[in-house]
Amino acid sequence: MPDEPINPPPTSFVEWPDEMRVENLRDTLAASPDPDTLWVFGAGSLIWDPRFDPDETRIATLADHRRAFSFWTIRARGSFERPGLGLALEPGGTCEGVVFRVPEAGREGILDALWRREMSGGVYVPTWAQAHTETGKVWALGFVANRGHQNYAGQLPVEISARIIATALGTRGTCHEYLSLLVDALEDHGIEDHETFDLHQRVQRELKAVT
């Protein structure tokens, strides 16, 4: 694990044009292992704010990905002056989250809104992965960190991540508020993520140290 970010905080935005985003969505759907049913895996804010009414919701575990704050956010929960860290899936380990079955009715609009939300600048690689639920496995769409992106910071030591998250501020508020919302959502669903909980505790100590 590097002591320094793989890339420094970016000094410019990356904006995907509409045609690139639409093509990415089309290619992602074409690669689905189960085109008859569409599940989306929530690791972060999708858990408490999917912004659509799913046909079904289940607690699920990815056996080959983990949750990590591994890319720079310079808009929603950070800025050029006070950059934050955004959440993504990283290969390896396990990640417990929530899967949402996307209804057929209105699916095109739901996916367009999802891609505008998650893929406006290409910081993720939409990835199909098997999610394990109490009632069986499903193929779900998750958002994995794009390691070739200028915003990719890598997986930093927890004490460095805590300092960054504690000071970051963007157009949607502080980065530490996002982390607190995530912890609340995980606890509400009975999901244990000791690394995320430890990061949250460290961020709270950082905040207390400056007040």
Give the Cβ contact number of residue 4 at 10 Å: 11
Q: Which of 15, 23, 90, 118 is catalytic?
A: 118
Q: Which helix (H) or strand (E) holds 109?
A: helix 107-118
The H-assigned helical ranges of 138-193 are 158-167, 175-188
In eight-state DSSP terms, residue 129 is: E
Q: Is 118 a catalytic residue?
A: yes
Which amino acid would we find at residue 32? S
Distances (CA, A) of 162 to 19, 138, 151, 175, 189: 37, 34, 18, 10, 24
* Whether the Cβ atoms of residue 174 and residue 78 lie closer than 8 Å to each other: no
What are phi and psi for residue 19, nearest 5 degrees? -65, -35
Active site residues: 118
